[in-house]
Amino acid sequence: MTTIIEEEAPKKSLNFIEQIVENDLKAGLNGGRVQTRFPPEPNGYLHIGHVKAICMDFGIAEKYNGICNLRFDDTNPVKEDVEYVDSIMGDIKWLGFHWKNLYYASDYFQQLYDLAIRFINEGKAYVDEQSAEVIAQQKGTPTTPGVESPFRNRPIAENLDLFQRMNKGEFPESSMVLRAKIDMAHSNMHFRDPIMYRIILSHPHHRTGYDWKVYPMYDFAHGQSDYFEGVTHSICTLEFEVHRPLYDWYIDQFADSDYRPKQREFNRLNITYTVMSKRKMLQLVQEGLVAGWDDPRMPTVCGLRRRGYTAEAIRSFIDRIGYTKVEGMIDVSLLEYSAREDLKPKATRVCAIMDPIKLVISNYPAGQTETLTTENNPDNETAGTRDITFARELYIERGDFMEDAPKDFFRLSPNGREVRLKSAYIIKATGCDKDADGNITTVYCEYDPETKSGTEGGNRKVKSTINWVEINSSIEADVRLYDRLFAIEDPSASDKDFRDLLNPDSLKVVTGCRVEAALAQAKPLDKFQFLKVGYFAVDPDSTPDKLIFNRTVSLKDTWAKKN
Ligand code: ATP
Ligand code: MG
pLDDT at 546: 87
**Looking at the domain assignment, is residue 228 inside a domain?**
yes
Ligand 1 centre to CA of 269 (Å) is 9
Distance 60 CA to ligand 2 centre (A): 21
Residues forming beta bridges with residue 514, ordered by sequence position:
353, 476
Phi–psi pair at 515, nearest 5 degrees: -120, 160
**124, 229: one domain:** yes
CATH number at residue 363: 2.40.240.10
Q: Please give all residues whose beta carbon lies within 6 A of any atom in ligand 1, as ranges.
A: 39-41, 49-50, 52-53, 73, 236-237, 268-269, 276-279
Same domain, 74 and 156: yes
The vertex-36 CA angle with 30 and 37, nearest 5°, equals 145
Test site for ligand 1: of 51, 54, 234, 237, most ligand atoms within 8 A of the Cβ: 237
- How far apart CA 167 and CA 165 sit, in angstroms, is 5
Cα separation, 563 vs 549, in Å, equals: 30
Ligand 1 atom 10 nearest Cα: 40
The full DSSP string for 482-509 is E--SBSSS-GGGSSS-GGGGB-TTSEEE
- What are the angstrom distances between the C-alpha of 333 and each of 98, 129, 273, 317, 338? 29, 52, 10, 11, 9
What φ, ψ does residue 280 adopt, rounded to 5°? -70, -40
Reported as half-sphere exposure (CB side, CA atoms, 13 A), residue 15 has a value of 20
- Among the bound ligands, the one closest to the CA of 84: 1
Any domain includes 284: yes
pLDDT of residue 1: 46
Indicate if 311 and 244 belong to the same structural domain: no
Give the residue, by CA position, lying nearest to ligand 1 atom 25. 49
Pairing status of strand 67-72 against strand 102-104: parallel
Active site (catalytic) residues: 41, 268, 278
Q: Whose CA is nearest to atom 9 of ligand 1?
A: 40
Domain boundary among 215, 238, 266: 266
Q: Do 200 and 290 fall within a single domain?
A: no
Name which residue sits closest to atom 14 of ligand 1, judged by CA: 40
Residue 7 lies in a domain: no
Question: pLDDT (tens digit, 0 to 9) for every residue of the chain, 563 residues total?
Answer: 445 555 554 557 899 999 999 999 999 999 999 999 999 999 999 999 999 999 999 999 999 999 999 999 999 999 999 999 999 999 999 999 999 999 999 999 999 999 999 999 999 999 999 999 999 999 999 999 999 999 999 999 999 999 999 999 999 999 999 999 999 999 999 999 999 999 999 999 999 999 999 999 999 999 999 999 999 999 999 999 999 999 999 999 999 999 999 999 999 999 999 999 999 999 999 999 999 999 999 999 999 999 999 999 999 999 999 999 999 999 999 999 999 999 999 999 999 999 999 999 999 999 999 999 999 999 999 999 999 999 999 999 999 999 999 999 999 999 999 999 999 999 999 999 999 999 999 999 999 999 999 999 999 999 999 999 999 999 999 999 999 999 999 999 999 999 999 999 999 999 999 999 999 999 999 999 999 999 999 999 999 888 999 999 999 865 555 55
Whole-number Å distance, alpha carbon 375 to ligand 1 midpoint, is 44
Distance from the alpha carbon of residue 41 to the mean position of ligand 2, in angstroms: 6
Ligand 1 atom at shortest distance from the alpha carbon of 239: 20
Burial class (CB in 10 A: 0-12, 13-18, 19+), 487: middle
Residue 411 lies in a domain: yes
Same structural domain for residues 216 and 319? no
**Rounded to an integer, what is the distance from CA 255 to the centroid of its chain?**
38
User: Which residue's CA lies nearest to atom 2 of ligand 1?
Assistant: 277
Same-domain status, 536 and 391: no
Q: The domain spanning residue 173 has which CATH number?
A: 3.40.50.620
Other CB atoms within 10 A of residue 344 CB: 14
Are residues 177 and 58 located together in one domain of the fold? yes
Q: Measured from the CA of 281, which atom of ligand 1 is nearest?
A: 3
Q: What confidence score (pLDDT) does residue 558 get?
A: 59
**Atom in ligand 1 nearest the alpha carbon of residue 43:** 10
Residues 291 and 401 both lie in one domain: no
Residues in contact with 11: Cβ distance below 8 Å, sequence separation at least 6, in sequence order? none
Report which residue type is found at 488. Answer: I
Give the model's pLDDT for residue 557: 64
pLDDT tens figures, 345-388: 999 999 999 999 999 999 999 999 999 999 999 999 999 999 99
CA of 101 to the centre of ligand 1 (A): 20
Amino acid identity for residue 535 in this structure:
Y
- Predicted pLDDT at 9: 47
- Tell me, in angstroms, the distance from the centre of ligand 1 to residue 49's CA: 7
Beta-carbon contacts of 257 under 8 Å, excluding residues fewer than 6 positions away, are none
**CA-to-CA dists, residue 512 to 449, 471, 480, angstroms:** 31, 13, 12
Of the residues 238, 266, 294, the one at which a domain ends: 266
Beta bridge partners of 373: 387
Pair (53, 181) in one structural domain: yes
Site to probe by mutation for ligand 1, drawn from 36, 50, 85, 243 as the one with most ligand atoms within 8 Å of Cβ, is 50
Radius of gyration of the chain (CA): 31
For residue 342, CA distances in Å to 172, 317, 464, 535 come to 55, 10, 27, 11
Question: Is residue 498 situated within a structural domain?
Answer: yes
C-alpha–C-alpha distance, residues 459 and 473, integer Å: 27
Q: Is residue 188 part of a domain?
A: yes
For residues 128 and 253, membership in a common domain is answered with yes
Residues with CB under 5 A from ligand 2 (ion): 41
Proximal ligand: closest to the CA of 264: 1
Q: Are residues 368 and 493 in the same domain?
A: no
Residue numbers of the domain that contains 196: 25-266
Number of domains within the chain: 3
Q: What is the pLDDT of residues 124-182, one digit of tens each?
A: 999 999 999 999 999 999 999 999 999 999 999 999 999 999 999 999 999 999 999 99
Q: Which of 266, 292, 321 finishes a domain?
A: 266
Q: Give long-range contacts, CB 8 A cutoff, 24+ apart: 116-120.
A: 116/163, 116/178, 116/196, 116/197, 116/216, 116/220, 117/160, 117/163, 118/254, 119/180, 119/196, 119/253, 120/156, 120/159, 120/160, 120/163, 120/178
Residue 189 pairs in a beta bridge with none
Q: Are residues 255 and 322 located together in one domain of the fold?
A: no
